[in-house]
Amino acid sequence: MSWPNSSSDASNRLDTVTVTVTVTVTVTVTVTVTVTVTVTGSVAFVRELVMQDQPSGAGKVTADQLRRGAYLYVRQSSLKQVVNNTESTQRQYALRGRAIALGWDEGQITVIDTDQGQSGASAAGRDGFQHLVSEVSLGRAGIVLGLEVSRLARNSTDWHRLLEICALTGTLILDEDGLYDPRSFNDRLVLGLKGTMSEAELHLLKARLRGGQLSKARRGELKQALPIGYVHDLLDRIVKDPDMAVRGAVERVFALFAATGSARQVVIAFAADQLSFPARIRTGPHKGELVWGPLKHWRVLSLLHNPCYAGAFVYGRKRGGRTAEGKATFTDVPREQWTTLIEDHHEGYLSFERWEANGRLLLSNASSRGEGKAGPPREGPALLQGLVICGKCGRRMTVGYRQHRDELFPDYRCMTKAIQDGARVCERLPGKALDAAVARLVLDALNPLAIDAALKVTDQLTARAAEADRLRAGHVQRAQHRADLARRRYLAVDPDNRLVADTLEADWNHALREVTEAKDTYERARSEAAPLEQAVRNRLATLADDVHALWADPATPMRERKRIARLLITDVTLTRIDQRIVAQVRLTGGQHHCLTLPTPLGKAKSWQTHPDTVALVDELLEDHTHREIATILNDRGLKSGKGLPFTDLLVRDIRDNYQLTHRYQRLRERGLLSFAEYAHAIGVSETTVKIWRRVGLIEGIAYDSKNGYLFHPPGPDHPAPTVAQGIKFSDRLAAQQAALSEQSHRSAV
C-alpha cells in the first residue's frame, strides 16, 4: 500500500485515494483476493480508517506471553455502583472475549473481582489489586485486562508502579481502546497520560463535589448528621427532638455537668439514678431507630464539646486523612481554622457562652496534659487542689503526696518548667498546715450563710430527684407504648395467617416483658432513692446550724469540702520568704486575706547532722581517717541525725554532703608524697617503699582505711638504697641501729 506524497497541508485536502487490501487465505492452496475501495477524505483520515480495520496490536503478543496467564481486573468504586451500574460490570467481564481472541485459552483467564465496592484512589485495602501486582511481579501474567485505566488505579503512584513491573516482566496491558506493551516507549507514554488523566478526573470530581458542599456549608444549609437530641423537620431545618424523653436526657447531662463540673461525675449520677441515655443507629437495616443504654464517659464528652447543642452551625471541626495502611483518621481542627461557624442558627440546649465556659472547664480538668490545670475536685486530702498559684512564676501548682505512717501529706509543687524544659522544680511547699489555716478561713466565711446554703442544697437535691423520677417514668411509658402497638398489630392480622400471627404474638410477648422490667426498675429505683433523700434532708437540717460539725464530720467526702472551698476561694498565691510561707487568699466576693505560716521542718532536714558535729568532723579530718573519726565521735556519745552511731561510711557521706575537704587533699597540700613520688625521689621502686613503710624504716601518713598512705619528703637520714638492697632484713636493721648509735655518739662528742 502506498500513500500519496503531500506537503504539510496535504492532510487537510480532500483527495480520492484508492486502497488495495490483499487477503490471503491458506487452506491447501493460496487464494489471493484483491478488493479496491474508493474512499473520499483526507489522507490522515484514510490512514486512520485503514489502521482501525487491521488487527490492532496483534503483533505484540508473543508465544511466551501466551504461555502465561491472562488476568482480568474488575472493580466498581462503591457498592451502590455494583448494584445499579450493572452494564459497566458486564462490559468489564466481557473483556474475556478480547483475551480469547488474542490467543489465550479460557482456562488461562483469571478474573479478579474481590475489590468490588472499593475506591481506586489508593492501593491500600484493595486486596485484589495487591494480588494482581504480586502475580505480575512473579512473572505469571502475560496480559492484564481492564476496561479502562481508572478501573485499575486512580493514583499515579500505583499506576506507574504497575507499569514498571509490567515492563520488567514483559506483561501486556489491554483496555477498551487497544493493546499496549509497557516496554515500548510510545505505549508507555500513552498509558502514562491515561493514568494522569484518570487521576485528574478524580480530582475534578472531588473538587466539584467539595465546592458544592462548602458553598452550602457557608450558608448554613448543608445537611449533616445530627447529634442525639436534634432531628431535621420536613424543610430540613434543625429542630429539637420531639421525643420528650430524649430531650430530657440531654438536658439532664448539661444540668449535671453545670452542678458537678466533671464529665465522670455525670456518668456516676446517671448510673446511681439507674437512668439510660438514647442513641440513634447510624447504619444498617435499622438506621434511624432509637436505642437506649448506659451513659458512657466518651458520650458525655461528645455532647459537651459539640457546638450544635449551643445552637451553632459548624462545618470543618475535624480534618480527615489516611494512614500508610489506608485507615481513615480524623484530627481536631483549632477553632480559628473551622470552615463555618454560625451562632444562633437553631434552638440550643444551652447558650453559646455557657458552651464556651464548659470547654474551658473541660480543658482545665485535663490535668494529665502536664500544664498544672485546676482539675475537678477529687478525693485526695489536699484542700486547695487546683487553686494554688506559684508566687515566683505565676503558674498553677499541682499536688503531690507523701506517705508517713499510713497518712498522706500534701505538697504543692510548681512543675511546669520541670516537665516542659527538664529544669528544676520551681517551688515546693508543704500543704498540711496551709490547708488547715485556709479551712479555718473558709469556715469563718461560711458561718453566716450555713443555713441558706443547706436550704439551697436541699432544694437542688429535691429537683434532681424529681427530674430522675420523671425520666424513669418516661421509660415505662415508652415501653407501654411499644406493647400497645404490638397488641394492635397482632389483633389486626388475619387469624388464619398463622405464620404472621405467630411472629406478631412473639413481638407482643417480648414488649410485655419489657414493660414488666421497666416497671420493676422504676419501683426499685424509687424505693432506693426515697430513704436516701430523707436521710440527706434530716442530716442537712441537723447540721445546718453547726457548719464546723459538717466540715469535721468523717462521713463528709473530701471532694465535697473542696467544692465548698471553690465556691468561696478564687485562688491562693503561695510565696516562700525566708523561713515563712506567705499565702495570698482571694475570695470570690473580692476580699483578700494574707496568711503567714512558718515553714515546717521537713523530714530530710530533721535528719540532718547537727552543725557542731559537722564542724568537729571537719576538724578531725586534719589528723584522722574516717574510721578513726567515727570511733572518736562514738566515744564522745554523739549520734547521727537519725539517732544512729557513726560509721566510717556515715562520716564519708557527711564529708561529701557538706563538701568538706578530703583528707587526701589536705595532706597533699602539706607537701606529702605518694608512693610513686617518694620512690622516684630516692631512686627505688614503689614495692621497696611499701616494704620500708611496713617494716618501719619510713613513716607513712594514712589518709583512708584501705592502706592509702602519703609520705613526708625524704630527708638526709632516709634509708640508703645501696646499703639497704641485697642485705638480709635483720642485718639491715642492725646496721641502721649501729649507724644511728654512731651518729648519736659523734653528736655527743
Per-residue pLDDT at 230: 93
Q: Write the single-letter amino acid at 20.
A: T
| Cell, residue 717 | 637520714
Q: Are 108 and 151 in contact (CB under 8 A)?
A: no
Q: CA 116, CA 74: separation in Å to the nearest integer? A: 7
DSSP assigned state of 584 = E
330, 336, 339, 342 alpha-carbon torsion, rounded to 10°: 120
Q: What is the DSSP string of 720-747?
A: PHHHHTTS-HHHHHHHHHHHHHHHHHHH
How do residues 529-549 score in pLDDT, each as one tens digit? 655 455 655 665 555 556 667
Q: Are 250 and 244 in contact (CB under 8 A)?
A: no
| Cell, residue 640 | 547521727
Dump strand ranges (E) for 529-599.
Answer: 569-577, 580-587, 592-598
Buried-state track 631-669, b at ≥16 Cβ within 10 A, e below 16: bbbeeeebebeeeeebbbebbbebbeeeebeebeeebee
How do residues 545-592 score in pLDDT, each as one tens digit? 566 676 777 777 787 788 777 777 888 888 888 778 888 888 876 678
Per-residue pLDDT at 533: 53
Q: What is the DSSP string of 296-320?
A: PHHHHHHHHH-GGGGT-EEE-SEEE
| Cell, residue 229 | 437530641
Q: Are 530 and 352 in contact (CB under 8 A)?
A: no
Residue whose C-alpha cell reads 576538724 in the numeric block = 619
β-bridge partners, 238: 232
Per-residue pLDDT at 745: 64
Per-residue pLDDT at 596: 86
Q: Are 352 and 312 in contact (CB under 8 A)?
A: yes
Sequence-distant (6+) residues with CB within 8 A of 450 are: 544, 545, 546, 547, 550
Q: CA 444, CA 591: separation in Å to the nearest integer? A: 13
Alpha carbons within 13 angstroms on the beta-carbon side of residue 488 total 5
**What does the H/E/C string look like for 417-456?**
HHHHCCCCCCEEEECHHHHHHHHHHHHHHHHHHHHHHHHH
403 φ/ψ angles, rounded to the nearest 5 degrees:
-105, 130
Residues of the chain with pLDDT under 50: 1-56, 368-372, 532, 723, 726
pTM beyond 0.85: the answer is no
Kindly list the catalytic residues: 77
Q: CA 118, CA 589: separation in Å to the nearest integer? A: 63
Q: Are 650 and 639 in contact (CB under 8 A)?
A: no
Cβ burial of 242 (10 Å; 0-12, 13-18, 19+) is exposed
Per-residue pLDDT at 24: 42
Q: What is the DSSP string of 618-650?
A: HHHTTT--HHHHHHHHHHTT---TTSPPP-HHH
Of 696, 701, 686, the closest CA to residue 732 belongs to 696
Of 704, 614, 613, the closest CA to residue 657 belongs to 614
Q: Are 700 and 737 in contact (CB under 8 A)?
A: no
Per-residue pLDDT at 229: 92
Q: Is the dihedral of CA 35, 39, 43, 47 positive or negative?
A: negative
Per-residue pLDDT at 309: 94
Per-residue pLDDT at 218: 87
Q: CA 498, CA 149: separation in Å to the nearest integer? A: 56
Beta 172-174 vs 141-145: how paired, if at all? parallel
350 φ/ψ angles, rounded to the nearest 5 degrees:
-155, 165
